[in-house]
Every structure is written in C-alpha cells, then in structure tokens.
Amino acid sequence: MNRAINEANQAIIERIRAARPHWIGVVAAKEAVPTLAQGFKLLHAGPPITWQDMTGPMQGACIGACLFENWASDEKQALDLLANGKVEFIPCHSVNAVGPMGGITSANMPMLVVENITHGNRAYCNLNEGIGKVMRFGAYGEEVLNRHHWMKESLGPALNDALKLFENGIDLTALMAQAITMGDEFHQRNIAASALLLRTLSPKLALLDRNKTEMAKIFDFLSVTDQFFLNLAMAYCKSVMDSAAQIQEGTIVTVMTRNGKDFGIKVSGLGDEWFTAPVNTPQGLFFTGYSQNEANPDIGDSAITETFGIGGAAMVAAPGVTRFVGAGGADVAYEVSEEMSEIYLDHNMLLQIPSWNFQGCCLGLDVRRVVETGITPLINTGIAHKQAGVGQIGAGTVRAPLVCFEKALEALAKKLKV
C-alpha cells in the first residue's frame, strides 16, 4: 500500500516539476468563468460559505462587487440582494481560479489568464488593485469603484494587448527563478518579481497605440504596486496544483485556502472533497493605531503559494519578510524553512534559494507528514481589519489547523481500507 502511495506521490511531484505556466492574457471574468455571465453570481476565496458566515472584509467586498456590476445603486440595495439569498456564491477554487483576501470576483472584473503550457490547463486570478483602500480588504467607496472601472476599461485591455505581442506570453518560471534570488518568497514579498515583470512588459506596452497620459498612469500604477505579482504567483501555483490533482491518487495536498471562517484543503487521492476546520487568526506586526484585537480571522486563496511550496515555506529566501511580519530575523527564516521541509516530500530545483545553500523550494506537501509530525504549514499573510472597508492593518503569519489534515488522512485510510 505504501509503495503505491509513494509511486503516486512521485508521479505528482514529477508533474509539478514539468509544469510551465505562462501569463498569456487578461480577460473579463465572465470569459474565463462562463457561469458568471448569467444571474447574480460572485466568486469568493476559501471553501464554500454563506453570506451570514462571512466576515466583514468579505461582506464589504461583496457589496463593492454589487455596486461595480450595477446590480445595486447603493449599499442598502446591495445588502438586500446579498442578505436575502439573491446572489449565488461560488468558491474560486471550484472554477480553476483563486482570489486574494476576500477573493470576490464578479463578471466584468478583469482576470489574469495563466496557462500551464506543458499540461494545457489554465488558471485565473483577479488583478491586484494596488495599495490604499481596496476591495479585497472590504472597501467599496467611490475611490475603490473608480479604480476597478479603470482596471476594467484601461489597465486590463492594455496588459492583454501587450501580452499578445509575446510569442507565448511570459514564462513565469524563468522570472520567478530570478526573483527568488533577489529576496522574494512570492506571498508576502513580490517586489523583485513585480519589478522584473514591469521590465519585461515595458517594451511591449510602449508599442501600444494609446494616449500618452493614460499610458503614464498605467506605468505609474505598475511601478508602485509592489504586490502586483502576487496575483500572478497565485494563478501560477493554481495551474500547477490543478494539473497535479489530475493524478487522483497519493497523499499530496493540492489546495489550501481560507474564508475567514474555515480553513479548507483538498488532497490528491481524494479528488474535490473539502476537509475543513475553523481558521486561526494571524499573529504579527500592526500598523500604527491598530492591534491584535482588531485582526480578522485568516482569509484568502493566497495559501495556494504555500500549497505549491513557496510563501511561508520559502521564508529563508526572504529574510526581510520576517521583520515585516514580526517573526524575527534571518535565523528564524532559516528555521522556518527547515521545519517546513519536514512536511514536504522534495525540493524544486527550478526555484533555488541562495541563502539555503541553493537548495530548491519545498515541493509536495504530504498530509501524512503533517499528521505524523504535528507540524502544520506556516503561511505568510496580510492582516485585515475585522470591519469591512478599513483595509490592511498589518502583516503576520498563521498556522493551518491540524484538524483538516487529520480528517483528510482518515478519509484516505477509509478509501484505501487500511
């Protein structure tokens, strides 16, 4: 039995290694996810959830999406739709997509399209909104809605037109291989990857026949949005892990995600079945004027990065992050990655970490090892305020709850009759 599991896991690992995700376009969400084209439907982060169970940031983002789509003319009308069961909520992960924090995505919002050219599957993620008041943290004022309309009408189409000028889009693995040597771990820190991306895009963007003032606005946005690459990293990891999940055997975790209420995982040998447990609340450093008491419980699909083996598992690549999230210094970053390597089966030499003696990122999160060791994945994350619209109030780390891994292992044992 163990031999069959190990063989399946090795096949999954080889599939992950072979994946080559490329960024090929930006389209309206309803093109990427056709089900969004009909009726009142919203994608959200995490496992399935109802309106009543959503925390403030996710509810605020839902209100913002209703206003953006003109389903409602004001907050009161939006709340009537949402609270009375008139909007259908769909997990991003159910439609080959991911979304940061609340993950709320509606039909006309632009989505990144990432294609795993090795295996032919695609994954999607909404565009990073930049800094300040943003919908992913639950804000839905005029400034937020104006930015979303600009992203729909200007930024998204410009990026899509620029990507058409590449033969096969942008090879994200090649870019990430550089960025990880420059201090990124691709969850909390994406400064290098975002800068490298802008360098790659700039010559193509400059060729577009567009108003100079508008192009200057696009360049300015991309130049100051340090986390722009996060959404691409998420779609990258989603495309890889979806491909890995096609091998429906073994014990490798293919999804980790949170919705502010539940932490959910999926495992290769158990298909699309969710295994959930109550989320923990991130611990970390807070911006001036805020405290731990105001922190929202763990939320967002961005833990797909740790599922793949970067983010918190690659903390050693980005010691600067340990200061930002209040975890300590370079020694702590090293200790975290060493600890994480105990629950992953292998290393990804496509993403080598100089400060780890050029060892590759972790690869193949094994539900058996998590349960056997009691070590749960550490996730780097932004911290949202409990109340809708306040926004990010800090950054920190959070542990996945052990219970969902225990549930999954019990289900595997039952399936395999062991």
Token pair 């639950």 is found at 138
Q: Report yes or no: 113 and 363 within 8 Å, Cβ to Cβ.
A: no
Cα separation of 52 and 34, whole Å? 26
Any idea which of 13-27, 103-117, 284-298 has the lowest mean pLDDT? 284-298
Half-sphere exposure in the Cβ direction for 72 (13 Å, CA): 20
Q: What is the pLDDT of residue 284?
A: 84
- For 95-107, the pLDDT digits (tens) are 999 999 999 999 9
111 pairs with which residues across the strands? 27, 126
Centre a 10 Å sphere on the Cβ of residue 158 and count the other Cβ atoms it contains: 22
Compute the average pLDDT of residues 226-244: 97
| DSSP for residue 55 | -
Cα separation of 136 and 392, whole Å? 9
Q: What is the pLDDT of residue 320?
A: 77
Compute the average pLDDT of residues 111-131: 96
Report strand pairing: 283-286 vs 392-399: antiparallel
Q: Report yes or no: 56 and 296 within 8 Å, Cβ to Cβ.
A: yes
Phi, psi of 185 (to 5 degrees): -115, 0
Q: What is the average pLDDT value for the chain, to the nearest integer?
A: 94
258 pairs with which residues across the strands? 263, 300
pLDDT tier, 323 (very low <50, low <70, confident <90, very high otherwise):
low
Report strand pairing: 299-300 vs 359-365: unpaired
Q: What is the pLDDT of residue 324?
A: 58
In this predicted structure, the answer to whether residue 112 has a pLDDT above a threshold of 90 is yes
Centre a 10 Å sphere on the Cβ of residue 123 and count the other Cβ atoms it contains: 29
**Which pair of tokens denotes residue 225?**
């949005």
Centre a 10 Å sphere on the Cβ of residue 88 and count the other Cβ atoms it contains: 12
Percentage of the chain beyond pLDDT 70 is 98
Compute the average pLDDT of residues 288-294: 89
Q: What is the pLDDT of residue 4?
A: 87
Q: What is the pLDDT of residue 388?
A: 82
**Which pair of tokens denotes residue 5?**
């599991």
Cα radius of gyration (the chain): 20
Half-sphere exposure in the Cβ direction for 32 (13 Å, CA): 31
**Reported pTM:** 0.95
Q: Which residue, among 288, 296, 306, 270, has the nearest Cα to 400 in the 3D structure?
A: 306
- For 28-86, the pLDDT digits (tens) are 999 999 999 999 999 999 999 999 999 999 999 999 999 999 999 999 999 999 999 99
Write out the DSSP string of 204-260: HHTTS---HHHHHHHHHHHHH-TTHHHHHHHHHHHHHHHHHHTS--SSBEEEEEEES
- For 186-207, the pLDDT digits (tens) are 999 999 999 999 999 999 999 9
Report H helices in 19-55.
29-32
Q: What is the pLDDT of residue 327?
A: 59
Compute the average pLDDT of residues 347-370: 96
Q: What is the pLDDT of residue 417?
A: 76
In this predicted structure, the answer to whether residue 395 has a pLDDT above a threshold of 90 is no
- For 151-196, the pLDDT digits (tens) are 999 999 999 999 999 999 999 999 999 999 999 999 999 999 999 9
- For 295-313, the pLDDT digits (tens) are 999 999 999 999 999 999 9
Strands (E), 64-149: 88-91, 97-98, 110-116, 121-126
Residue type, 364: G
pLDDT tier, 87 (very low <50, low <70, confident <90, very high otherwise):
very high
Residue type, 274: W
pLDDT tier, 319 (very low <50, low <70, confident <90, very high otherwise):
confident
Cα separation of 154 and 134, whole Å? 18
- The alpha carbon torsion through 368, 13, 345, 381 (nearest 10 deg) reads -90
Q: Report yes or no: 97 and 46 within 8 Å, Cβ to Cβ.
A: no
Q: Report yes or no: 117 and 168 within 8 Å, Cβ to Cβ.
A: yes
Q: What is the pLDDT of residue 403?
A: 97
In this predicted structure, the answer to whether residue 326 has a pLDDT above a threshold of 60 is no
Percentage of the chain beyond pLDDT 90 is 83
| Residue 329 CB burial class (10 angstroms; 0-12, 13-18, ≥19) | exposed
Q: Report yes or no: 234 and 134 within 8 Å, Cβ to Cβ.
A: no
pLDDT tier, 234 (very low <50, low <70, confident <90, very high otherwise):
very high
- The alpha carbon torsion through 208, 211, 212, 214 (nearest 10 deg) reads -100
Q: Report yes or no: 81 and 136 within 8 Å, Cβ to Cβ.
A: no
In this predicted structure, the answer to whether residue 228 has a pLDDT above a threshold of 90 is yes
